[in-house]
């Protein structure tokens, strides 16, 4: 792993209810952490934290104490699409990029004291690649290496619903990693199933898949979802129609996720780690 990759970080805009100490803002009060407010001693009977100056200045002559916010840990889940469309390899290897991203997020989770889970899916949730939430660094590495060595073999993404069920319960930071060559209905179902969580859709796009096709020539194309082959006489008008259709499909997918998730982040050919960190910390690039 490179030093640049280790610098990736994330933050959450919400308060967690986790009871385990961590690095994120929470609803809980404790003995340390960020100063929250000053309250009467009757509300928080802890005389060790009496605020003398505030008590002397209180017009109601109450004894006041300082209250602190207890930083808490969260659960981080990475849902990875391993359907056959992710097998396309042109400028990049999509599965390898997804594994790199999962590895960076696992390191971030380890540093923050958060749990990490990995849930690859195609038409079903892939139990052979699944990692339950854990703090174990060795388990993280083992699961990610299994993902990196995996070759997609099944079409369909309906397993995302099983993955959503597997992360039900407390609110989590969920990364949904895919090329999102999905139907609008698949995207809608996934968005609704994960709506309770803080979802970060991450699109992996290979520029050679469509944008950099030649304007003229005979192309022997294979549909990765169905396995069928087709000889196509490429021409500028056909290429423009395909690109327009792809943009329209991408816009529909983004529109669906915009109602239930964060803005989609796109990785094209390679991961720009600085841009990704800026996006995860500040919500912009």
3-state helix, strand, coil in the chain (%, to 5): 35, 25, 40
Same domain, 84 and 128: yes
Same domain, 90 and 47: no
Same domain, 81 and 149: yes
59 within a domain of the structure (yes/no): yes
> Can you tell me whether residue 125 is helix, strand or coil?
strand
Alpha helices in 127-207 (DSSP H): 137-148, 160-166, 184-193
Same domain, 65 and 170: no
272 within a domain of the structure (yes/no): yes
19 within a domain of the structure (yes/no): no
Same domain, 213 and 232: yes
Same domain, 42 and 102: no
16 within a domain of the structure (yes/no): no
Residues, the chain, total?
Answer: 285
Starting from the edge strand earliest in sequence, which strands make up the sheet with 265-268, in order? 131-134, 115-121, 75-81, 173-178, 198-205, 265-268
Of 69, 100, 118, the residue at which a domain comes to its end is 69
Place of tokens 């990692």: 131
Which residues fall within 8 angstroms of residue 171, CB to CB, at 6 or more apart? 14, 16, 17, 74, 196, 197, 198
- Domain limits at 55? 29-69
Of 38, 69, 100, the residue at which a domain comes to its end is 69
Q: Indicate the number of domains in the chain.
A: 2
pLDDT in tens, the chain (285 residues): 555 555 789 999 999 888 888 888 888 877 677 788 898 988 888 888 888 999 999 998 899 999 888 889 999 999 999 999 999 888 899 999 999 999 999 999 999 999 999 999 999 999 999 999 999 999 999 999 999 999 999 999 999 999 999 999 899 999 999 999 999 999 999 999 999 999 999 999 998 887 777 888 888 887 777 777 888 888 888 888 888 998 999 999 999 999 899 999 999 999 999 999 999 998 765
- Cα dist. 166→59, 139, 249 in Å? 53, 18, 28
18 within a domain of the structure (yes/no): no
C-alpha 46 chain-centroid distance: 40
Contact 12, 27 (CB under 8 A): no
DSSP-assigned beta bridge partners for residue 134 = 116
Same domain, 80 and 34: no
Taking the CA of residue 188 as centre, how many other CA atoms within 13 Å lie in the half-sphere pointing to its CB?
5
Tell me the backbone φ, ψ of residue 218, rounded to 5 degrees. -95, 125
SS3 track for 45-57: CCHHHECHHHHHH
Same domain, 49 and 87: no
277: CATH: 3.40.50.410
Same domain, 60 and 90: no
């Amino acid at each position: 792993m490179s030093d640049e990759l280790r610098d990736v970080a994330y933050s959450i805009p919400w308060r967690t209810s986790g009871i385990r100490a961590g690095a994120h803002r929470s609803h809980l009060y404790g003995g340390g952490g960020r100063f929250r407010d000053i309250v009467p001693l009757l509300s928080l009977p802890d005389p060790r934290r009496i605020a003398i100056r505030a008590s002397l200045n209180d017009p109601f002559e109450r004894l006041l104490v300082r209250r602190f916010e207890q930083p808490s840990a969260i659960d981080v889940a990475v849902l990875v699409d391993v359907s056959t469309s992710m097998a396309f390899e042109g400028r990049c290897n999509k599965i390898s990029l997804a594994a790199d991203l999962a590895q960076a997020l696992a390191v971030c989770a380890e540093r923050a004291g958060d749990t990490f889970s990995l849930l690859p899916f195609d038409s079903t949730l892939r139990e052979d690649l699944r990692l339950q939430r854990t703090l174990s660094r060795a388990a993280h590495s083992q699961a990610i290496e299994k993902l990196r060595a995996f070759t997609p073999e099944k079409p369909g993404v309906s397993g995302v619903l099983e993955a959503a069920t597997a992360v039900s319960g407390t609110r989590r930071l969920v990364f949904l990693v895919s090329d999102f060559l999905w139907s609008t209905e698949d995207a809608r179902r996934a968005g609704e199933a994960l709506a309770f969580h803080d979802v970060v859709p991450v699109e992996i796009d290979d520029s050679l898949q469509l944008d950099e096709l030649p304007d003229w020539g005979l192309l022997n194309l294979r549909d990765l979802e169905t396995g069928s082959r087709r000889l196509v006489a490429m021409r500028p008008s056909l290429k423009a129609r395909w690109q327009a259709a792809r943009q329209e499909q991408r816009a529909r997918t983004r529109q669906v996720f915009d109602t239930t998730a964060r803005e989609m982040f796109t990785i094209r050919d390679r991961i720009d780690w600085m841009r990704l960190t800026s996006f995860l910390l500040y919500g912009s690039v």
